[in-house]
């Protein structure tokens, strides 16, 4: 089963339906669990230190080059591809650090929502945090750039320019202002439109369509420019709203659509791929700097490989999501290049790029990103 890529801070039951939880209580509980894990590791280390001198000599010889043993607490999301990648990272970083680095993995928002885990990483309450850029753009304003509709026309553009280009790298490095080291950008995926009565094959099909969207000024402006009637509402209310016809449709990454069973109440899905939402992967900078050079190198190498793996898994799960929708009788339509450019032109009239730049601390990064994309497309 495809497990959900969450939009913000939702938790789900074993049937994939959204459930509400007391986040504050959840955080307190999981902090205690994380502390217990760390205390247990410390006790084991202490007991080992009291062992025979020959063992100590062997251990010190290894530690001299590899660094002291450390366990990193990872606070993650509900995304299947991200959870797979964290497991993969844990295996690789343990291998590359000669066993000196292990991870304590807390996926599925167990340590709180994206914003809460972002703060926990800053405060050192967890070591590595993963979350949606849209969730923390109110804190890190340059991330608003990733909310601009049709900034990217393909995933390869995202990988090569959006993340790998000069502007993308500076955005990743910019997490240092929060006491965090940007390790990678992972994939949440492109958002797509689903509707219950009217298929959306052209921009004209959006006219007057009551579409549930996120409460985000850039998103709202884009949908209004395309002729839709954007209607923000709580995500937990969306399934029922579509079932009862309160809204005509919604837009989300494919993993969210099938993970919440929206194909049960929606007849059409159009792969508009109108905006790409990344996940950030960050680490507490003090923790990173406390590690040996060999351990830091192990983290960098393992994370690079885990990132490639995460992209591969994300693509696999998206294909499975399409199969799930079609099996449920939902018609899935991909836009050709001409149709996508029509949607892009309409969205651009909402001037989302200018809205993003107004909110960014370094609007020159937006200009640089556009410049790099134009050069890439030639």
Domain ranges of the chain: 11-377
Residue position matching structure tokens 């009239």: 349
Which pLDDT tens digit goes with each residue over 68-112?
Answer: 999 999 999 989 999 999 999 999 999 999 999 999 999 999 999
Q: What is the dihedral of CA 364, 135, 87, 310, to 10 degrees?
A: -50
Closest CA to 5 of 326, 347, 315: 315
> Can you tell me the distance from the alpha carbon of 41 to that of 37, in angstroms, rounded to the nearest whole number?
6
- pLDDT greater than 50 at residue 113: yes
Q: How far apart are alpha carbons 355 and 219 in whole angstroms?
A: 10
User: In sequence order, which residues have a C-beta less than 8 Å from that of residue 63 and are 6 or more positions away?
Assistant: 69, 100
**Would you state the torsion angle of the CA atoms of residues 113, 119, 120, 123, taken in this order, to the nearest 10 degrees?**
180
**pLDDT at residue 185 tops 60:** yes
Question: In CATH, what is the architecture of 11-377?
Answer: 3-Layer(aba) Sandwich (3.40)
Helix axis angle for 23-49 and 114-123, nearest 10°, is 30
If one compares 39 and 169, the residue with the highest pLDDT of the two is 169
pLDDT value of residue 259: 87
Dump pLDDT digits (tens) for 288-332. Answer: 999 999 999 999 999 999 999 999 999 999 999 999 999 999 999
Residue given tokens 């850039």 in the structure block = 218
Least confident of 252-261, 268-277, 338-347: 252-261
Q: Which residue has the higher pLDDT, 245 or 46?
A: 245
- What is the H or E stretch that residue 63 is in? helix 53-66
The β-bridge relationship of strands 11-12 and 18-19 is antiparallel
């Amino acid at each position: 089963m495809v497990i959900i890529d969450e939009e913000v801070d939702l938790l789900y039951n074993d049937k994939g339906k959204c459930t509400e939880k007391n986040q504050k209580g959840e955080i307190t509980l999981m902090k205690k669990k994380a502390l217990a894990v760390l205390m247990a590791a410390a006790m084991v280390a202490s007991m080992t230190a009291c062992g025979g001198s020959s063992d100590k000599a062997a251990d010190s010889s290894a530690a001299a080059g590899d660094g002291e043993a450390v366990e990193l607490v990872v606070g993650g999301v509900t995304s299947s591809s991200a959870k797979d990648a964290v497991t993969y990272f844990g295996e690789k970083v343990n291998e590359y650090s000669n066993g000196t680095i292990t991870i304590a993995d807390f996926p599925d928002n167990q340590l709180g929502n994206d914003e809460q885990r972002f703060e926990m990483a800053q405060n050192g309450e967890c070591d590595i945090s993963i979350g949606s850029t849209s969730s923390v753009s109110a804190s890190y304003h340059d991330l608003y750039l990733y909310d601009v509709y049709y900034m990217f026309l393909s995933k390869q553009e995202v990988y090569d320019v959006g993340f790998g280009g000069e502007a993308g790298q500076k955005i990743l490095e910019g997490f240092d202002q929060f006491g965090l080291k940007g390790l990678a950008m992972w994939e949440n995926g492109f958002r797509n439109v689903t509707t219950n009565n009217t298929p959306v094959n052209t921009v004209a099909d959006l006219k007057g369509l009551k579409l549930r969207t996120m409460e985000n000024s850039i998103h709202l402006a884009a949908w209004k420019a395309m002729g839709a009637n954007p209607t923000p509402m709580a995500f937990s209310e969306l399934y029922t709203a579509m079932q009862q016809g309160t809204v005509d449709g919604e837009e989300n990454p494919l993993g969210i659509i099938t993970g919440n069973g929206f194909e049960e109440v929606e007849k059409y899905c159009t792969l508009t791929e109108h905006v790409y939402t990344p996940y950030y992967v960050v680490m507490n900078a003090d923790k990173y700097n406390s590690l040996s050079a060999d351990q830091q190198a192990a983290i960098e190498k393992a994370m690079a490989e885990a990132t490639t793996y995460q992209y591969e898994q994300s693509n696999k799960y998206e294909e499975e999501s399409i199969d799930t929708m079609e099996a449920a009788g939902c018609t899935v339509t991909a836009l050709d290049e001409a149709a996508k450019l029509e949607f892009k032109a309409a969205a651009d009239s909402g001037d989302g790029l200018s809205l993003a730049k107004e909110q960014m601390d370094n609007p020159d990064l937006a200009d640089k990103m556009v410049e790099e994309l134009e050069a890439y497309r030639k």
